[in-house]
Each structure stands twice: as structure tokens, then as C-alpha cells.
């Protein structure tokens, strides 16, 4: 008797169905991810910057990218924003490959908050934030009343309405950082990419900026932030990605990534990891600070 044709002729019952379900799950994971990075390789000439980096960030997550200087943090953000084109691999925002999008299309989906550089050229806070509407406007077109409402909402959300008419060159570092975040929010993005958002800020402004970013998650925005301070990253980010030499050295919850052997291998210094006395999250101490803390409690 000839075997019947069709799905029932499979030697292992359910194998065909399992493959279909697996493909459906994979497609669903891609569709649900705010941003997906799959095995990207980036080089600057002959110099490797990223080697096989993969990462998925869901809506409402705040992913912290940590690692020593030169580990590839900024390059990863630039690849997500399609400023750097990977030699291999794929970057998707809401299931769409950024390599096939125009700059305007990418900017409508991903807002970028860079490190502060240069002068504000006399622009006011309101003018800077209004620039975030550019991806949604025709060339040389003026903002509509709807655009102005969006700009005002972004400034209210970041607490800078009272700074609207101030030249940004007169603002403090923390105030200017809020202006840059508001500009990115005015784009109406689904993903927010931040390069060292607390750089050069004092302790108060560091906490205020990280609390602001954390609050943005409630609106479903996915945030990816390169963070220099591993303890700030531990306090506010989940998941964490630790880069070392352009590769992912660890990926997961703060307690999975911030482990002494992993950090020592990446940063090249001995560290001690202890629970934070308030949050219980991992808190990293350099060896000298750890020894001093131990001696003070003897």
C-alpha cells in the first residue's frame, strides 16, 4: 500500500505542524519587537567595531548598553539609527528593515538623543524641540497647529515649558538634556536611542534624567541607552547588554549581567558586586572602594 500523501505522511507526527508553529512564533517575535538587531557586523575601514551583535527590545523596555570605552556602544546606537550600515546582519524597527528606509522614515520611528556637543547657535528651547517635527513636514513647510500641540506636549512631558523662550546656550546641562529628549519625543517615535544621557551631569540631574526616561516607558516607547555608569544602568535599565571588544559579553537582567567575573573580564579590573541597600539591585564597587567599605564596617 502506498503511503498517503500530505502532512500525515511525515515520519514523525506533528513535525510539519511544529515547524509552522515555530515560524509563526519567530514572525510574531519580530513583529512584537520595537527594535531587533540580528547578528550585525560593523567596521570602520579595516577596524572591527561590532561582531555578531544581536539584541531585541520590546515596547516599554529600557535597555541599557554598558561596556568599556571603545567596546562598540555608540556604533550600536548608530546602526540602530541607520547612520552606520552593517556589513552583515539586520536591524529592524517594528519589523521594518532600517536599511530599506529613507532618513525621514527612520526619524519618524526612532528619536535620537546625542551627547551634547557644540553650541545651540542662539536657538531657544522651543525652537530646538520644534525641530523634532521635521520628519513629518514637507520641505520648507511651517508647523501646523497639530505640530505645535505635539511640541508643547513634549515640553510639558519633560518639564521644560517654562524654558520655552530661553536660548539653549543659557541652560544648565540637565535642562539642555531635557530639551534634547523633548525634541526626540516631538518626533513621535516608537524607539528612543540615547548616547550617554547623563554624561557631564551632577548627581541630581543624573537621577532626574534617568527617572524621566524610566517614566517614558509607560507610554510604550522602547528606550535604548548607552550608559557609562554601570550602577545607574543597574538601577534603571532592564535588560542590560554588556559589550566588550565589539561583542556581546553578557545580556539579561542586571543580576545576570553585573557579576564580578563577567565585569572583570570586560573592564580588566577587579570589582566587588553587592546588593544595593535600598533597591537590592546589583551595585558595583571597584576593588579599592570595596576594601575601604569592608574596613569601615569591621
Chain segment 187-199, per-residue pLDDT in tens: 999 999 999 999 9
| Size of the chain, expressed as the number of residues it contains | 298
DSSP-derived secondary structure letter, 59: T
Say how far apart CA 178 and CA 232 lie, in whole Å: 18
Please return the burial class of 93, using the count of CB atoms within 10 Å of its CB with bins 0-12, 13-18 and 19+: buried
Which pLDDT belongs to residue 118? 63
Q: Would you say the pTM of this structure is higher than 0.75? A: yes
Residue 42: alpha-carbon gap to chain centroid: 18
295 or 62, greater pLDDT: 62
Percent of the chain with pLDDT over 70: 84
CA neighbor of 236 nearest in space, from 282, 180, 178 = 282
Q: CA angle at residue 84 from 72 to 266, to 5 degrees?
A: 5
% residues pLDDT > 90 (the chain): 78
CA distances from 225 to 127, 170, 198 (A): 25, 26, 10
Q: Per-residue pLDDT for 10 more than 50? A: no
pLDDT tier at 259 (50, 70, 90 boundaries)? very high
Domains defined for the chain, CATH in brackets? 32-296 (3.40.50.300)
Amino acid at each position: 500500500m502506498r503511503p498517503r500523501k500530505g502532512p500525515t505522511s511525515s515520519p514523525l507526527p506533528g513535525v510539519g505542524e511544529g515547524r509552522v508553529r515555530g515560524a509563526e512564533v519567530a514572525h510574531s517575535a519580530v513583529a512584537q519587537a520595537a527594535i531587533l538587531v540580528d547578528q550585525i557586523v560593523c567596521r570602520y575601514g579595516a577596524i572591527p567595531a561590532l561582531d555578531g551583535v544581536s539584541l531585541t527590545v520590546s515596547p516599554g523596555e529600557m535597555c541599557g548598553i554598558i561596556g568599556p570605552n571603545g567596546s562598540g556602544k555608540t556604533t550600536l546606537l548608530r546602526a540602530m539609527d541607520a547612520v552606520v550600515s552593517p556589513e552583515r546582519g539586520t536591524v529592524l524597527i517594528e519589523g521594518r528593515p532600517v536599511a530599506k528606509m529613507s532618513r525621514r522614515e527612520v526619524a519618524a520611528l526612532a528619536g535620537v538623543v546625542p551627547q551634547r556637543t557644540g553650541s545651540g547657535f542662539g536657538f531657544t528651547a522651543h525652537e530646538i524641540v520644534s525641530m523634532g517635527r521635521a520628519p513629518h513636514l514637507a520641505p520648507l513647510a511651517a508647523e501646523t497647529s497639530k505640530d505645535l500641540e505635539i511640541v508643547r506636549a513634549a515640553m510639558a512631558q519633560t518639564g521644560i515649558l517654562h524654558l520655552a523662550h530661553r536660548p539653549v546656550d543659557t541652560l544648565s546641562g540637565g535642562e539642555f538634556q531635557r530639551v534634547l529628549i523633548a525634541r526626540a519625543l516631538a518626533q513621535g517615535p516608537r524607539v528612543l536611542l540615547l548616547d550617554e544621557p547623563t554624561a557631564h551631569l551632577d548627581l541630581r540631574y543624573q537621577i532626574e534624567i534617568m527617572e524621566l526616561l524610566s517614566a517614558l516607558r509607560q507610554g510604550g516607547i522602547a528606550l535604548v541607552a548607552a550608559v557609562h555608569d554601570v550602577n545607574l544602568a543597574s538601577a534603571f535599565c532592564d535588560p542590560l547588554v554588556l559589550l566588550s571588544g565589539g561583542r556581546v559579553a553578557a545580556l539579561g537582567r542586571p543580576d545576570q549581567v553585573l557579576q564580578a567575573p563577567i565585569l572583570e573580564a570586560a573592564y580588566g579590573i577587579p570589582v566587588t558586586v553587592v546588593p544595593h541597600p535600598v533597591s537590592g539591585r546589583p551595585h558595583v564597587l571597584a576593588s579599592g572602594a570595596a576594601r575601604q567599605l569592608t574596613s569601615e564596617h569591621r
